[in-house]
Amino acid sequence: RFQGTHFSKLAASNCFCICLLMIYIFGLPLWSYLANQKMGYFEELCTTPAQFVQCGDGRNYTEIAESLGRRRPDIGLVGCTCGEGVFGDHACPVVQNGKIASFISSQFSISYYIATPSGTGAMAALSFFPLLFVWGYGLGFNAEVESHVMKKISPSKDLLGTSTRLSFVFWTQVMFQVLYGAFLFSTVCIAPTMHTILVGGFVVAEVCHFIAMASLIGCETTSAKIVFISIIAVVSILALGFGLRYVSSLNGTFVGLYAFHYAECLSFSLVLLLNPALMYLSDSFSAASVKPTLPEAKHTLLGSKNRVPAHFREPSQDEKHENAIA
């Protein structure tokens, strides 16, 4: 139970892990520039002649490589095609044309930057603990879930049944975890179509998961309202970022290049930040309204093992009668 402090250590740890992940995903354009360009890793990891690299936004990659000074003694002007470099190339959203798959986009994205082995590994490592906290809250270990969800519900009001709804919460999170793992495995450079399907799948699974959580907590609670508002915001931000790719006047501009990437970053962050937010609300709730257990009541409130305060025990028949008369 999250009791004792206004903001539990668990929620604080969650926030710290999420902040590390946010620094990583929001900073991917910068990390790509620093690693590939500034630190010179393009000389070792990028092996494609610049004339064979295309930009999805229509710019000339050879001219970009010339301006960046990307030359190798054995190749001349060199480019980082999809999957090469420490992270996806910051110079432009490059096109991957191969026998296995073809990937064309005029926008940067998280998937684009982490399509390299090092990018995927860092994403998996930094998202591990934030997603672990999603499991911890979603499966009903939180004090608010215990007090609001695990209580006895009248069958006439609970049409689906508490066990059925808890199962739905569990399996939507399982689905998300499986699809997210497959998303990291099937990078956009190797299987772009499958990658896109997997992204859509885990987004839908997690949205369903949190909607089910809000229903279990109680739609009238502050926690549930925060969940609903956050989910609406997530879907709206993703739709806006995706829709901007079809505005031709923005092609090649900062907004056109980075809108979808930062929309993904913000949406993913909002979903993960729901967990510490719910923990915070639960901590406040439990500290104010969750009563101590019977052993705690014996020792901490009375200092006696033989008596229990009236408000922690079942009233006697005489007390019930007196209360009824009053």
Tell me the pLDDT tens digit for each residue of 199-249. Answer: 999 999 988 888 887 877 777 777 788 888 989 999 999 999 988 888 888
Examine the pLDDT at 169 and tell me if it is beyond 90.
no
Kindly report, residue by residue over 43-101, the tens digit of the pLDDT: 889 988 999 999 988 899 999 999 999 999 888 999 998 889 999 999 999 987 655 66
Selected residue with higher pLDDT from 173 and 25: 25
258 contact partners, CB below 8 Å, separation of at least 6? 29, 107, 108
Count of alpha carbons within 13 Å of 227, Cβ hemisphere only?
26
Is residue 294 scored above 50 in pLDDT?
no
Task: Work out the percent of the chain whose per-residue pLDDT is above 70.
Answer: 72
Q: What is the mean pLDDT of residues 132-151?
A: 56
Mean pLDDT value of segment 276-280: 72
C-alpha closest to that of 18 among 128, 111, 139, 179 = 128
Which CA distances in Å does 284 have to 2, 5, 143, 246, 310? Answer: 9, 9, 10, 45, 25
Which phi and psi (to 5°) does residue 218 adopt? 120, 115
Q: CA angle, corner 207, sides to 280 and 229, nearest 5?
A: 55
Reported as a pLDDT band with limits 50, 70 and 90, residue 306 is: very low
Q: Which residue has the higher pLDDT, 71 or 294?
A: 71
Q: Mean of the per-residue pLDDT values for the chain? A: 78
- Does residue 17 have a pLDDT over 60? yes
Strand order in the sheet with 48-49: 48-49, 76-79, 71-72
Asked if residue 312 has pLDDT above 60, the reply is no
Q: In the chain, which ranges are E strands? A: 48-49, 71-72, 76-79, 96-97, 102-103
Separation between Cα atoms, residue 200 and residue 40, nearest integer Å: 35
Contact 210, 271 (CB under 8 A): yes
What is the structure's pLDDT at 98?
57
Tokens (6 digits) for 4: 């004792």
- Distance separating alpha carbons of residues 240 and 238, to the nearest angstrom: 5
Q: How far is Cα 47 from Cα 79, in angstroms, rounded to an integer?
A: 7
Longest Cα–Cα distance in the chain: 98
Burial 236-266 (b: 16+ CB within 10 A, else e): ebbeebeebbeeeebbeeebbbbbbbbbbbb
| Structure confidence at residue 290 as a pLDDT band (50, 70, 90) | very low
CA atoms of 197 and 61, how far apart (whole Å): 29
Average pLDDT value for residue range 279-283: 60
Task: Between 259 and 14, name the one with better pLDDT.
Answer: 259
Q: What integer pLDDT is reported at residue 322 of this predicted model?
A: 58
pLDDT of residue 216: 76
Residue 282: predicted pLDDT: 55
Whether the pTM exceeds 0.85: the reply is no
Contact 217, 148 (CB under 8 A): yes
Strand partners, 77: 71
Predicted confidence band of residue 265 (pLDDT cuts 50, 70, 90): very high
* Amino acid 292: pLDDT: 41
Beta strand pairing call for 48-49 and 102-103 = unpaired
Kindly state the average pLDDT of the residues 9-26: 88
Q: Is the pLDDT of residue 123 over 60?
A: yes
Q: How many CB atoms lie within 10 A of CB 129?
A: 16
Q: How far is CA 92 from CA 24, 163, 191, in A?
A: 19, 50, 20
Helix (H/G/I), strand (E/B), else coil: 146 = helix
